[in-house]
Amino acid sequence: MSEENSFLETFLNFIIHYLKKSLIFIIIFIIFLINLSALSLSIKCNKNEGLLFKISSGMYAFMFGVIYILINYYMYRIKMKQYPCDNICGNPFK
């Protein structure tokens, strides 16, 4: 019984150790996905704008993904202008 507890404790310590080490990569991956979603939203919503505006809006959306989604899209475009982007589904970068 003692050997079984020792093995289980060693195994759980091993799993916890590597989960803690991989947590930073999981967080970075999630932030990257949020930023790509914000970039896609920016491209979809500004498809009728000029090239310089599209590039600057896309760069802002990619660098500050959550802030872009909350402030620029949700607060400004939906709440104030009451104009959500229609073509969100489908190809995200078209």
- Per the domain annotation, does 45 fall within a domain? yes
Q: How many domains does the chain have?
A: 1
Instruction: Determine the Cα–Cα distance for residues 20 and 17; give it in Å rounded to an integer.
Output: 5
| Structure-block tokens of residue 93 | 């970068």
Residue 64: strand, helix, or coil: coil
The domain in which residue 25 lies consists of 2-80
- Per the domain annotation, does 94 fall within a domain? no
- Per the domain annotation, does 91 fall within a domain? no
Q: Is the pTM of this model over 0.85?
A: no
- Per the domain annotation, does 90 fall within a domain? no
Reported as a single tens digit per residue, the pLDDT across 2-54 is 666 788 888 899 999 999 999 999 999 999 999 998 888 888 888 888 889 88
Reported as a single tens digit per residue, the pLDDT across 62-87 is 999 888 888 887 776 766 666 667 65
